[in-house]
Amino acid sequence: MRLKCAFRTAVLPVTYNMLFLSLIKECIKSTNEQYFNSLFYYNDGANKKSKNYSFSVCLNRFVFEKEIFKIDEEVYFTISSPDSKFFINIYNGLLKIDTFRYKDFFLDKKRINLIQERIISENTTVFKTLSPICIKDKDGDYLDIEDAKFRDGINYMADMILKNFRGKGIKSNLYFDPINMKKVVVKIDDDFFKRDKKKYMVNSYKGIFRLSGDIEDLNLLYQLGLSFRRNQGFGMLEVI
């Protein structure tokens, strides 16, 4: 399940991922506060368990000045999840919101469209990234795509994502084949999580790649995303 929501805004911060994460949280909270608390909090602290969604933000015409994007056209927010409870709550929450405020930034909602997902029916699929992917190894170190351990990192990440969603990991190892991937650096503002109020530079990749594996696994990764920090706007995929 996935949807696309169009917004108008004059400006966005360079760390706009956190703005849209805040939007997701507000939508869930306004619809089902009990579910919101179970999803994002645990024992009076943040629930660090991975959530069953990924999202992307598309900016078209813009000018970048002093940590700010000045926007000339609509901004598109797309979110995907195979979790029906989460999806119903985020959809209903978006329906309620006309204008959303995050710090000194505002989003004016224009429209919401449900998107028909593709069905993967073969063991090899070509994906493009709608939001960049970042991969770590088991020691927590970010991996470069040229690193021999990158494919192991893909399998490690996919196994954790699927285990978190359905209780069991990948059915067979994935084979990752980059076709046209480019390195990008994304700035993340962890002030949102009220930790050490720092901005972090996340090495990640965007572009087109081929992924081979079990068909059910591929369909779920298409819906869930494939990356660390998926819930902060990384790892959303489209089938091409």
**Domain harbouring 44, CATH code:** 3.30.70.1890
Please state whether 19 falls in left (phi above 0), alpha (psi between -120 and 50) or beta: alpha
State the pLDDT at residue 192: 44
- 179 and 135 within one domain: yes
- 186 and 223 within one domain: yes
* Number of domains the chain is built from: 2
- 132 and 106 within one domain: no
State the pLDDT at residue 56: 97
State the pLDDT at residue 199: 57
Looking at the predicted structure, is the pLDDT value of residue 195 above 80?
no
- 137 and 40 within one domain: no
State the pLDDT at residue 139: 85
Among the candidates 115, 147, 163, a domain finishes at 115
State the pLDDT at residue 174: 97
pLDDT in tens, 43-62: 878 888 889 999 999 998 89
- 110 and 21 within one domain: yes
- 66 and 20 within one domain: yes
pLDDT in tens, 96-112: 999 999 999 999 999 99
State the pLDDT at residue 84: 96
State the pLDDT at residue 190: 57
Mean local confidence (pLDDT), 64-91:
94
Among the candidates 67, 92, 115, a domain finishes at 115
Which of the two residues, 130 and 66, has the higher pLDDT score? 130
Looking at the predicted structure, is the pLDDT value of residue 134 above 60?
yes
Among the candidates 115, 149, 183, a domain finishes at 115
pTM above 0.85, yes or no: yes
Q: Virtual CA dihedral for 209, 212, 214, 220, nearest 10 degrees?
A: 0
- 134 and 46 within one domain: no
List the single range of 90-94, 120-124, 200-204, 212-216 with lowest mean pLDDT: 200-204
- 130 and 105 within one domain: no
Domain hosting 30: range is 2-115
